[in-house]
Structure 1
Amino acid sequence: MDDKEFWEWYQDPMIDIYYETESLTGLFSRFGILPSKNKEHVQNALDFAYRLIKCSLAIFYVLPEDDHPYLIIDKLSKNISPDIDGIAVWETYPIYLTEKGMALIEECNLKKRTEEVSPLFKTKLTAMFEEHGVGFDKKAFVPIQY
């Protein structure tokens, strides 16, 4: 993953959710996740959530009946239509950083917004992903269903 992609899909969004809980559609509004015909962008958003949850860096704010984050990712993968129902499902589950995710942002001095990629952050996040089997060489942990 090049630096531009890393900044757009990981560093900037993680700084955003350091400060405020956000839906994936809001977090990746620059890519117009929904309504979108760009399957790669929708899959990237789901992969972002999957990786962060797998590494205990983030979690979804959930309703009592949806208490397992992987079930939520599965639900999102099946509700990608651009109609109001599909968008509503994606807006129902905001994501936020855990204490571990917040500590990573702080350790890498990213509390202040920047458009520069932090080499330390990229190295640490890449290592965490590799350690948990969700490295950047893997994709579509929960494939979208168009």
Structure 2
Amino acid sequence: MATLQIEVVSAEASIYSGEATFVALPGESGDLGILPGHTPLISRIRPGTLKIRLVDGSEENIFVAGGILEVQPNGVTVLSDTAIRAADLDEAKALAARERAEEALRNTKDKADMAVVEAELAMLAAQAAAARKFSQGRRSH
């Protein structure tokens, strides 16, 4: 069975390193699915869920807050400022952070600050949605 070497790295740590048979993630222009032998590619990625299908058929899910994807025929590297394993996501914390960011947005008048807060809000909304999805999946098993 053909495999890919997957590396997922955040600003703080290596989040995942191992072999997989398939990777799916939110690319800048739409969702991407990557199999072994994929054409080389470099793309920005949007906040969302990175799904890694492992050799044993199980799946590893990681929330990424955007970043850069590099695909080579035998490997995939994802570089993200923030990457969190699905099991470590906390919807309540993401929603609380989103409320704080919304308050900051209401109180700022500087356009550059607004753009930064709006980007953070989009990332937090995606993180909360991913946490909700994964917690529902855990409850249904």
TM-score scaled by length of structure 1: 0.22
TM-score scaled by length of structure 2: 0.22
| The structure with more radius of gyration | 2
Q: Which structure carries more strand by proportion?
A: 2
**Larger RCO (CA within 8 A; separation ≥ 6):** 1
